[in-house]
Structure 1
Amino acid sequence: MIGWCLLFLVTIEGVCSEIRLQQFPSELKRPGETVKISCATSGYTMTSYTLEWSGFSLTEDVSSSTQYLQIRSLTAEDSAVYFCSRVHSD
């Protein structure tokens, strides 16, 4: 039973290591400024979409596999840890 469990974990690690998300270093901005955070991806095909929501915009450059989160007119309430992630669904 333990042998099967270890084999399963190694297999999963190999599959997951092909998909990569790279988020770039943090930025410090002042209220009223704009920040543009990027996340480069590899190991899967991106689909094209754009999202705009109350001062936040999410865009992407499919040719470079990079997604961008831009926040305009920053306020203290926008202070947070922002991170990129990939969600898979069938």
Structure 2
Amino acid sequence: MPVAGGSTSGTTVEDRDQVVRLLAGLTERERRVVVLRHYCDLSEAAVAAELGIAPGTVKSALSRALAKLRVSITEDTDELRGAL
């Protein structure tokens, strides 16, 4: 799984560390929704059933989480460019 400028040939330790760091910036609910929806590839309805929440809550939590992740990835990329 490539991560912001990462390699597509395989996941490196650095890529995994970045994903863990990015997910740590989310709330527990956001983290669970992202992992179940994208890592476990569950539908929104299945995520809702698994977590015992409404499908609309899954959609809003996922939207907020992905927005936070986009900002965090951009900040990480900007920091890397500044270090070069």
TM-score (normalizing by structure 2): 0.24
Give the helix-richer structure, 1 or 2: 2
Q: Which has the larger radius of gyration?
A: 1
TM-score (normalizing by structure 1): 0.23
